[in-house]
Amino acid sequence: MAELQYTTFDSIQDHVSHVRQIFNTGKPRDIKWRKFQLQRLYDMIAENEERFYESLAKDMHKPRNEAMGGDIAPVLDECLYFLDNLDELIKDQKVKPRSGINVMEKVVIRKDPLGVVLILGSWNYPVQLLLVPFAGAIAAGNSVVLKLSEVASHTAALITEIFPKYMDTSCYRIVNGGVEETTFLLQEKFNHIFYTGNENVARIVMTAAAKHLTPVTLELGGKSPAIITPDADIQLTANRIAFGKFYNAGQICIAVDHVLCPRSKLNEFVQALKQTVQQFYGDRPQESKDYARIVNNHHVERISALLNNRSSGEIAIGGEIVKKERYIAPTVVVNVQPDDATLMSDEIFGPVLPIVVYNNIEEAIGIINQREPPLALYLFSKDQKVIEKVLRTTPSGGVCVNDCLMHQAEYGIPFGGVGASGMGSYHGAKSIATFTHERSMLVKKQKMEGATAVRYPPYTDRKYNLLRFIMVKHPFMLKLKSYRQPLKLLFALIALLAFYLKRR
């Protein structure tokens, strides 16, 4: 694998300038061209799938199943979805005029590409989180600049190598680099910025975007809780929470950050977790081929510090750290206090699972509502009333009931955060909405000037009354509308009666 070469400042400026010039020619807007590029993106992943598995293993020891499910399959599926549905997704939307003045006119909403889109990828899923939004930006008809994550350097080097062999580099360009290159890139003007990452960098992105009044989509994270209610199937819950926490060694924005467990179920849940971890990874997870590694030494040190500097709780499972291998064992810490300044302050983003006990569901809801809204909320319960109560009284970007992570994998629904966990959303049809502008259009004919003249000066009482009659609906019309079905039935009966009498 070639070493990752950073993009020069001059090249960054050239990339942005060039793709804007090409966008202005209309080339990326052509529907046949969009479909061709989506097919080429599909081919780029499908024909190099084994190489992607190799690069992801080098970056994070990512197991093949996790690399396929978390990185490869989402991009392939998104490309196929757009190829199959693009014509319908981007067609003009006809609108029934509300105003009486426009009742005879053509009113449509057209989905116009935004222009030049910047997509800032993330290291934890360096294929999915870069190329799924890229597919949406292509489908929407934009030119795109892709900033790859330098942290997952092997995967970034692979994408940089093969990208020009498949994609049209007059419309789409790649930028590689660290903080300096990214800072320089953000000085350029874009029509939309799409960022996946953490809250601190998001503030930098928003500040840079504000200088050009550029809209942003921010896919962030937060402390996503999993609530267990007393009636839940504990072993099933342990299986699914372990999956939602230790998948990719917890390096996922929607990972279960901590568990809120009924005090009466704590011991049973911990025993179930021990059984699950043993089933997943064996007696020595360090030797398991199915357990990922932390991406670099910096994050090993960060997660180690969270574990070692905690102010509450005891390690019930795991706790082993081998820094030279970037290995942190699947770790569970019990009896953690909700206000623990270390474990319960920021998103953990690693394989350390704090368990906080609660006495009643109101207490659990209160713990959640004391924090910023999380990107995901997980709830394990059989009681529909409790489920509805939690959903009604807590905020979150998304929700998954009785499972973990899988709502993000359902691309038929939007994925995104709220508040500090992000703004905007994407996936499937929502990506088209994110990367297009709804251009409202009223198309009139050069006719009926006599009727139109009622709006022209000189103004008279007659014109005023006529305009008001056309433009302001009387409340009586709303009441009449509520009786529409009975009136239709009445008129039908009258018509039948008239027909019968005429036959007589």
CATH code: domain of residue 324: 3.40.309.10
Question: Which of 303-317, 367-381, 415-429, 439-453 is predicted least confidently?
Answer: 439-453
Residue 15, pLDDT > 50, answer: yes
Residue 212 sits in the same domain as residue 155: yes
pLDDT mean across residues, the chain: 95
Is 376 inside a domain boundary?
A: yes
Q: Both tokens of residue 115?
A: 């222009």
Residue 349 is assigned to a structural domain of this protein: yes
Above 70 in pLDDT, residue 70? yes
Cα–Cα distance measured from residue 245 to residue 347, given in angstroms and rounded to the nearest whole number: 12
Same domain, 213 and 238: no
**Is 352 contained in some domain?**
yes
Nearest to 345 by CA among 220, 223, 198, 253: 223
Q: What are phi and psi of 94, to 5 degrees?
A: -80, 140
Residues 198 and 248 in one domain: no
Do residue 242 and residue 151 come from a single domain? no
What residues have CB less than 8 Å from 137, skipping those under 6 apart?
A: 117, 119, 144, 194, 431, 435
- Strand, coil or helix: 230: coil
Which one from 150, 171, 181, 253 is the annotated catalytic residue?
Answer: 253
For the chain, give me the number of helices (H) and strands (E)? 20, 20
| 417 contacts 222 by C-beta, under 8 angstroms | yes
Q: Is there a domain that residue 382 lies in?
A: yes
The residue with tokens 């005429």 is 502
Helix or strand holding residue 317 (H, E): strand 314-317
Q: At residue 1, does pLDDT exceed 50?
A: no
- Check residue 494 and give its pLDDT: 86
Q: Which two tokens stand for residue 149?
A: 């994550």
List the CATH number of the domain containing 25. Answer: 3.40.605.10
Specify if 109 maps to a domain. no
What is the pLDDT confidence band of residue 477, given thresholds at 50, 70 and 90? low
Longest dimension (CA), the chain: 100
**How far from 164 is each of 115, 170, 171, 179, CA to CA, in Å?**
21, 10, 11, 24
* Confidence tier at 500 by pLDDT (50, 70, 90): confident
Are residues 21 and 151 part of one domain?
A: yes
Report residue 52 as tokens.
């992607």
Within this chain, do residues 141 and 235 fall inside the same structural domain, yes or no?
A: no
Q: 165 and 82, same structural domain?
A: yes
Q: Which residue has the tokens 């899988």?
A: 406
Q: Is residue 103 part of a domain?
A: no
Q: How confident is the model at residue 448 (pLDDT cuts 50, 70, 90)?
A: confident
Task: Answer whether 222's CB lies under 8 Å from 372's CB.
Answer: yes
Those residues whose C-beta lies under 8 Å from the C-beta of residue 388, and which sit 6 or more positions away, are none
Q: Tell me, yes or no, whether 143 and 203 share the same domain.
A: yes
Give the strand pairing for 331-334 and 327-328: unpaired
Supply the pTM of this predicted model.
0.92
Nearest to 74 by CA among 159, 146, 32, 134: 134
What DSSP character marks residue 324? G
* d(C-alpha 401, C-alpha 404), whole Å: 8
Active-site option among 79, 219, 347, 400: 219
Separation CA 190–CA 185 (nearest Å): 10
The backbone region for 81, taken as left when phi is positive above 0, alpha when psi lies in -120 to 50, beta otherwise, is alpha
Are the beta carbons of 292 and 61 closer than 8 angstroms? Answer: yes
150 catalytic residue (yes or no): no
Is 79 one of the annotated active-site residues of the chain?
Answer: no
Please report the sign of the dihedral spanned by the C-alpha atoms of residue 159, residue 162, residue 164, residue 165: negative
Structure tokens at 497: 């009666």
Residue 447 lies in a domain: no
pLDDT value at residue 101: 81
Same domain for 24 and 59, yes or no, is yes
**126-173 per-position pLDDT tens digit:** 999 999 999 999 999 999 999 999 999 999 999 999 999 999 999 999
Burial bucket for residue 450 (CB in 10 Å: 0-12, 13-18, 19+): exposed
- The C-alpha atoms of residue 31 and residue 85 are separated, in whole angstroms, by 12
DSSP string, 159-184: HHHHHHHHS-TTTEEEE--SHHHHHH
Count how many domains the chain has: 3
Shared domain for 230 and 290, answered yes or no, is: yes
Retrieve residue 323's tokens: 């820094």
pLDDT (0 to 100) of residue 82? 98
> Within this chain, do residues 210 and 294 fall inside the same structural domain, yes or no?
no
Report which residue type is found at 162: I
Residues 292 and 358 in one domain: yes
**Structural domain range at position 331:** 225-410
